[in-house]
Structure formats: C-alpha cells, structure tokens
C-alpha cells in the first residue's frame, strides 16, 4: 500500500488536559488532507506529533513506515509551522542555499524561487528585516527546499492577504498534481472545502468525521425544501413520512428538512397541498459547522 | 560534508555581520588598548612588557566576550524565533550543527586574535618572538572553552533581553575582577585572592606568562579545566530539567 502516514490510537496528555484523544487515521500517497477544527481541537498537537516534535503519551505515529525522528523521514518531509521562523543575520538567498544543503536531493533553486513568489528584492533582504508577508514566503520556500514527498502546513494562511492566499493554494494544487502528499490544518471550512480532497474533522482532540468535503458537508448541513402554502392547509400528512426530519415555518415559508430532498418534492405533489414557489435549501454551511464545533473549550 | 562546510561558512558570515560582535570584540578591545597604553599614564616600570601584557589582556577580553555573548545570545535568538524547532524537522544532524557552531566560533576567535595582535604591533610596535605570538594565540583559542560552556548556559535562557543583560554583567565582572582591565596587583588584597580563582584571571594569566617568556602555570590549566567540567555538567543538568518540564 502507498501509506505515507499512519496514526494508531494516538493520545497526547499534558498536565491538566488531554489535547489529543485516541486518534487513528491513515493517509496515502497523493492525498490532499485538511485537518479541520476550531481552535483548541488538537490540530497543532497532532501535527507536532506527526513531525516528531512531541512524543505521543500513547499510541504510535509512523511516516513512510518509520519513526518521525528518523533521518530518512526528515529527508522526505517539508513543513511550515504556525510560528514563522527565520535565521537572523543571513539573507534569504543564503538561508535557502543553507537549508537546501541539508537535503540529498533538494529542489532546484530557480524552481524553488518560482514556486514561492520570492522576488529578487526579497532574496537580497536579511531575514530579520523581512515583512510579515515576506517571512511567510520564506517559510513556504523552506518547506519546499528539500523537494519533499510529504508537505505539512500548520494553519498556513493565517495572516496572508487574499492575493497571497490565492497564490498559495494555486501552488498547493500544482504540487498536488505532481503527486505530493499534502496535509494542512485550518479552522475555515471554506478553505478545507476548496483545497482538500479529504477532511479530517477534529473536535475536542478526537476525529469526529473523516471523508470528502461533500460527505462532511452533507453530514454537517441539513438540506430542506421550502415553499409557500395557504396557512389554512394542514401539513399533518407530511409528518407521517419517515424521510422527513423536521417541519417548521419561518417568514411565511414552510421548511421541510430531510436528507432526501427529491423524495420531499415527490411527497409535496403527492399530497396535493398546493405548495408554490418551491426552493431547495442547502443550509448555511458555515453556521452548521460552527454549531457542530461550538462548545469546545478554547485553548489557553 | 557539503552541509558541514555550508553550515560553518554561514555561521561565520552571521557573526561577522553582527554589529555587537564587531563593536564588543574588535572595536572596544583595540580602543581600550590604545587608551591604557598611550593616553593614560600607567607608570609601568617596563613599558614594553606592559604593552605586551595589556595586549594579551585585551585579546583575552575580546575572545571571552564573544564566547559567552555571541554564542549564548544567538542560541536564545534561534530558539525564541522558532528556528531551532524548524531545524529539528530537517535532516541536519545535531552533531553537524554543534560541530559547525564550534568550528565557526573558533575561526572567529582566531580572526579576532589576529586582528588585535596586528593592532598591537601597529599601535605600540609590540614585538614578540614567533613562538610567543603563536603560543599565546593558541592559548587564547583553547582557553576559551570554559567560556563557550558559559555561552551555552546563557543560551538556555528564555528571552534575548535577559540573556544579553545577564551575560553583560557576568562579562564585565569577570573582566574587571580577573584583572583584564587593571592588573590584579593594584587591587585590594581581598579582591586579589578572589580574582585568582576566577576563570578570567587564569585565562589571562596563561597568556601573560607566555609573553614574559614562561609557560602557563599548571594551576591555570587545572582551574580552567575544572571550570569547563563544572559548566558542562551544569549545562547538561539544566537541559535535562528543561526537557522534563
């Protein structure tokens, strides 16, 4: 099998709380996976364990069938951490040269520069004088310097403006097309939906859902059919059907909630209730997501 | 091997670009040297000997400073800015990283020693035998080891500001009390007794003996080694405690 990353019953407890609780999943070659969840859901702790920066309290993490700390694993991974790191005293180009020398088969320099959008001006600037955006670009370049097979980003787009964000995701797609495996964490459903082909939904240190964006969305957002109907008409008959989860009135419209909206339409005509102005409602995804993940204690 | 060369090269570039290093390790010692051998009249009985003696004092002062401050503060900087964490994810081995730091630091020391020696020769025409130049240079490079160990201790601090402040105080106290600024002989008896046990005095005394045509005292070597062992043990102990936390 093309398993790149395996977590088996991984738990991480700190003194006063359990940050990650019995998490297991496997990621195969070429997948683009989003670790989605609100702040404090255990995303960063999980990523730190994958990178070998933290040791799990229990369970096992394996990358390329080896321990995360092993050198041959390090050769194949690249990462961009939440905290942007720079080496003071060196120019960007020098830092890239230095980091590339750590790897057996680094990415060709001009390709690295092209991918990350570093300008000639950036390359000549000393690390400590970089702006926030430039630092992010440098971090991104450092992640790609070793031409890694697996790239891990912890909240990569925090602090990026729209342009850099778009550019970043474009590059990610480009890398995914080359067959790289990509894992990133985010707390925006939209971002996970746009960029990933698989979402691991984290809540309170556990994976509460694992699937394609469409599956996750179907799970967290309720679909419904809404229509206008004469208030005198009884909707009793609709309640008799088990496919229908809920019926409620809002702003003169009747909303019928169900996972099978086709069936609801069928029923509405079958029962001849005289419904008109019929619409299928997808439900507000972000709201549903927030609802699902709310009640999580914020990380301190 | 290429990694190691690169790492050394860039470690050296970084130090040379550091303005604090250039000021504290090159400008200050040479300036002091000029002042205390030309401007201030020290009434030294043997002028040539005083000029050679003080050249050694200032070179020791320079190397001691860069061992403690340059290394220590850089370690704190790298950690607080997330660089150390990033490095841990790359294939760079700890051994190569550490060795490159030490080699880089030694090259910097040799450079400082050469520059300050040349300054001495130019400013006061200090003339020593080739053996004395080389032996004192080597003594100062090797004798810096306990101070590098102090540097790694300082490097364990959390904040750059604290590390800079504390290392400055230690630096100045060691320099003054160890007789690098003024000879110990002109200080009160009490201070002399304490001073003779300080690593800075023993570091300096080896070089002072060499320029007087003697060899460094066994006592100097023993005391410096004892300090090196002490600081290394302390450093290991603190690291273990930090890792456990």
Give the model confidence (pLDDT) of A25-43 as tens digits.
Answer: 999 999 999 999 888 889 9
Beta-carbon pairs below 8 A across chains A and B: 65
* Chain A residue nearest residue B86, CA to CA: A85
Q: How far is CA A283 from the centre of its chain?
A: 21
Q: Give pLDDT, residue A300.
A: 38
Give the minimum alpha-carbon distance from B202 to chain A in angstroms, rounded to a whole number.
33
Q: Give pLDDT, residue A296.
A: 45
* Chain B residue nearest residue A69, CA to CA: B89
ipTM exceeding 0.85, yes/no: no
Q: Which residues of A touch B81 (CB under 8 A)?
A: 85-88
Q: Which residues of B touch A75 (CB under 8 A)?
A: 91
Per-residue pLDDT reduced to its tens digit, A230-245:
888 777 777 788 878 8
Q: Give pLDDT, residue B219.
A: 94
Surface of B (61-80) touching A: CB under 8 A? 77-78
To which residue do tokens 């959008």 refer? A117
CB contact under 8 Å between B13 and A90, yes or no, is yes
Average pLDDT per 10 consecutive residues for chain B, totaling 245 residues: 88 88 91 90 82 95 92 87 87 87 91 96 92 95 94 90 92 94 88 94 95 92 96 90 73
3-state class (DSSP) for residue A277: strand
Mean per-residue pLDDT for A140-165?
Answer: 90
How many angstroms separate the most distant Cα atoms in chain B? 60
Q: Give pLDDT, residue A297.
A: 43
Q: Give pLDDT, residue B135.
A: 95
Per-residue pLDDT reduced to its tens digit, A255-285:
888 878 888 888 888 888 888 888 887 766 6
Burial of A235 (0-12, 13-18, 19+ CB in 10 A): middle
Mean residue pLDDT of chain A comes to 87
3-state helix, strand, coil in chain A (%, to 5): 35, 30, 40
Asked if B160 has any chain A CB less than 8 Å from its own CB, the reply is: no
Write down the pTM of the prediction: 0.79
Q: Which residues of A touch B10 (CB under 8 A)?
A: 90, 94, 98
> Which has the closest alpha carbon to A256: A288, A223, A221, A225?
A225
CB contact under 8 Å between B91 and A52, yes or no, is no
Q: Give pLDDT, residue A281.
A: 77
């Amino acid at each position: 099998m093309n398993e790149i990353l395996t977590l088996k019953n991984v738990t991480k407890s700190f003194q006063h709380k359990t940050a990650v609780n019995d998490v297991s999943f496997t990621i195969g070659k070429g997948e683009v996976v989003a670790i989605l969840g609100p702040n404090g859901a255990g995303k960063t702790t999980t990523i730190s364990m994958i990178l070998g920066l933290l040791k799990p309290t229990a369970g096992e993490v394996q990358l390329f069938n080896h321990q995360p700390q092993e050198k041959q694993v390090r050769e194949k991974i690249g990462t961009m951490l939440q905290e942007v790191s720079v080496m003071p005293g060196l120019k960007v180009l020098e830092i890239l040269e230095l980091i590339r020398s750590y790897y057996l088969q680094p990415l060709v320099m001009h390709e690295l520069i092209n991918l990350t959008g570093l300008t000639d001006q950036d390359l000549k600037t000393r690390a400590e004088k970089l702006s926030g955006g430039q630092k992010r670009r440098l971090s991104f370049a450092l992640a790609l310097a070793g031409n890694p097979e697996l790239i891990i980003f912890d909240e990569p787009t925090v602090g990026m403006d729209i342009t850099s964000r778009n550019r970043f995701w474009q590059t990610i797609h480009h890398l995914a097309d080359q067959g790289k495996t990509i894992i990133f964490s985010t707390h925006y459903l939209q971002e996970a939906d746009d960029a990933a082909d698989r979402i691991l939904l984290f809540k309170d240190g556990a994976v509460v859902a694992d699937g394609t964006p469409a599956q996750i969305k179907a799970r967290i957002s309720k679909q419904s059919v809404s229509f206008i109907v004469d208030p005198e008409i009884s909707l009793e008959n609709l309640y008799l059907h088990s496919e229908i989860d809920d019926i409620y009135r809002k702003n003169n419209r009747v909303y019928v909630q169900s996972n099978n909206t086709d069936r609801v339409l069928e029923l509405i005509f079958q029962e001849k209730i005289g419904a008109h102005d019929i619409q299928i409602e997808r439900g507000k995804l972000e709201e549903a997501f927030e609802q699902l993940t709310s009640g999580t204690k914020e990380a301190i | 091997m290429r990694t190691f060369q690169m790492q050394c090269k860039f470690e050296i570039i970084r130090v040379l670009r550091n303005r604090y290093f250039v000021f504290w390790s090159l400008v200050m010692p040479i300036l002091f040297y000029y002042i205390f051998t030309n401007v201030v009249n020290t009434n030294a009985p043997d002028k040539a000997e005083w000029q050679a003696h003080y050249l050694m004092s200032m070179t020791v002062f320079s190397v001691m400073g860069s061992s403690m401050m340059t290394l220590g503060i850089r370690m704190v900087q790298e950690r607080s800015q997330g660089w150390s964490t990033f490095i841990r994810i790359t294939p760079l081995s700890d051994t190569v990283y550490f060795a490159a730091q030490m080699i880089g630091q030694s090259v910097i020391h040799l450079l400082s020693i050469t520059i300050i020696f040349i300054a001495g020769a130019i400013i006061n025409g200090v003339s020593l035998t080739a053996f004395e130049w080389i032996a004192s240079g080597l003594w100062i490079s090797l004798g810096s080891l306990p101070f590098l160990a102090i540097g790694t201790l300082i490097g364990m601090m959390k904040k750059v500001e604290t590390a800079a402040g504390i290392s400055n105080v230690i630096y100045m106290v060691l320099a003054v009390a160890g007789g690098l600024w003024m000879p110990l002989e002109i200080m009160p008896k009490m201070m002399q007794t304490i001073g003779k046990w300080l690593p800075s005095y023993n570091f300096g005394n080896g070089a002072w003996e060499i320029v007087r045509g003697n060899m460094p005292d066994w006592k100097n070597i023993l005391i410096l080694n004892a300090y090196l062992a002490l600081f290394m043990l302390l450093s290991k102990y603190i690291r273990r405690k930090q890792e456990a936390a």
